[in-house]
Amino acid sequence: MDETFDVNYKGPRDTALAFWPQLKKNARVVNVSSQLSKSARNELSAERRQQFDDADSIEKLESVLAQYRAAYVTGPSGAKSQGFANSAYGVSKLAINVLTRVLAKKGEKDGIVVNAACPGWCQTDMTAGSGAPLTSTEGGSRIAFVATDPAAQKVSGAFWENRAVSAN
């Protein structure tokens, strides 16, 4: 679980915060998320879902993630028994979506646009033999769309899926 969160949440968080002071008006930040963030959110108890929804700062988000980590000590069933989703990957991507929303609010006054985007189910070493329908180039083009398309400049704090804003 720690490696999953290091790669999927802490890496993007630390990178965004390190470069934040250099971002200029109309800059775009695109975090890579996953459709599994939606699945994880749907698995949360109402109370846990509210905690993620109410996280309006990195500190509040990380407080919820600390509770998840403590619940996960006994494994996925421990997390599930305490109202969390049992997929560390899904929760890490849900955390990216919340971080995206927090950073979008932070960048609002400076015109910095922050979004999360799902590349789709892509053929990678990790998905070998699974029947993933998209090449990595096709998935990458979905991220590039959110980074460069003028329509995506008008929306900040959203989760994009297949070149469109998606409910999360």
Active-site positions read 89
User: Is-contact 114 132, C-beta < 8 A?
Assistant: no
CA-CA distance, 26 to 22, in Å (whole number)?
A: 12
Q: Describe the crossing of helices 58-72 and 88-107 by its angle, rounded to 10 degrees.
A: 170
User: Closest by alpha carbon to 80, among 89, 68, 90?
Assistant: 68
* Closest C-alpha among 39, 84, 78, 50 to residue 65: 84
CA dist 88 and 152 (Å) reads: 29
DSSP category for residue 145: H
